[in-house]
Amino acid sequence: MSEKNEPIEYSIASRPLTVKELPAQMQPRESFDRLGAEHVPDSVLLAILIRSGVPGQNVSELAQQMLIHYGSLTAMARASAKDLQQFKGIGSVTAQLLKAALELAQRLSRESVGERPLITTPEQAAAVLRERARVLQHEVFWALMLDTKNRLIGEPQKISEGTLNSSLVHPRELFKKALEHSCAAMILAHNHPSGDPSPSAEDIKVTKQLIGAGEVMGIKVLDHIVIGHRKHTSDTDFLSLREAGLVEFR
């Protein structure tokens, strides 16, 4: 017999509750209907896309496990369909569905920028490339081609891939694209997959070389934007070499 003041211990079922056994307010579809898509957490939206769990793990737990593993939707968007299938319960069809949903979200964000946006500030330049850059795990160098009124001409032009250096980003390749688009000016941009947008010495060196080449070609290089990730310690996810005063743009 236990002591009079000994706490009572309750035993609980060792198996996880199925979605149907969860309280109604905790079921993904019920939460969606009750609160609306914009007010439910990421795990609920993800659970609805996944649709079903596996023995021993309901769909809500599977969704939470995936978010914990990747840490963010941005990181999940970088994963391939094959990578997503490492989770028990995520087959090829569900993996395709998740990749399609994440890709649509990125395209929607890019579409909101507009077809020929006016670009007069570093923030506007960063907005054009933000969704493209955030899912990349390697460096990509782009050029935003602008007309005489500072409107974007066509899609951002990918010039090179890989760590930025003078051999990788050759003026010949950049200004060949510029001439093809008959641009009056351009804004250079590249991403830092590490998330830290602080430019390297090589970033600054390459920028100076391209500004000089632009002067010879009669095409102004207005700025160079380095795109990272937004963090709690910073108000922005990019750095403008022009705003930072690190390079003289003429």
**CA–CA separation, 6 and 119 (whole Å):** 71
User: At 236, is the pLDDT very low, low, confident or very high (cuts 50, 70, 90)?
Assistant: confident
- In this prediction, residue 14 carries a pLDDT of 47
**CA–CA separation, 128 and 139 (whole Å):** 16
Q: What is the DSSP string of 58-115?
A: -HHHHHHHHHHHHSSHHHHHHS-HHHHTTSTT--HHHHHHHHHHHHHHHHHHHHTT-S
Identify which has the larger pLDDT, 77 or 94: 94
- Domains of the chain, with CATH numbers? 19-110 (1.10.150), 114-240 (3.40.140.10)
- Residue 63 scores a pLDDT above 70: yes
Measured on CA atoms in the order 129, 132, 137, 143, is the torsion positive or negative? Answer: negative
Average pLDDT over residues 60-87: 89
Average pLDDT over residues 193-211: 94
Measured on CA atoms in the order 25, 29, 30, 32, is the torsion positive or negative? Answer: positive
Cβ atoms of residues 140 and 161 within 8 Å? yes
The first and second tokens of residue 235, run together, are 């108000």
Identify which has the larger pLDDT, 115 or 206: 206
The closest of 75, 70, 203, 66 to 134, measured between CA atoms, is: 75
- In this prediction, residue 110 carries a pLDDT of 66
Choose the weakest-confidence range: 4-8, 201-205, 228-232, 245-249. Answer: 4-8
**CA–CA separation, 25 and 236 (whole Å):** 36
The first and second tokens of residue 50, run together, are 């996944």
DSSP reduced 3-state for 50: helix
**CA–CA separation, 226 and 107 (whole Å):** 21
Cβ atoms of residues 99 and 84 within 8 Å? yes
> Residue 96 to residues 12, 46, 92, 234: CA-CA distances in angstroms?
37, 13, 6, 34
**CA–CA separation, 218 and 115 (whole Å):** 26
Residue with tokens 């506007």: 124
pLDDT tens across 48-58, in order? Answer: 999 888 888 88
Dihedral pair phi/psi, residue 223, rounded to 5°: -170, 170
- In this prediction, residue 1 carries a pLDDT of 45
- In this prediction, residue 245 carries a pLDDT of 96
Whole-model pTM above 0.75?
Answer: no
Strands 140-146 and 157-161: antiparallel
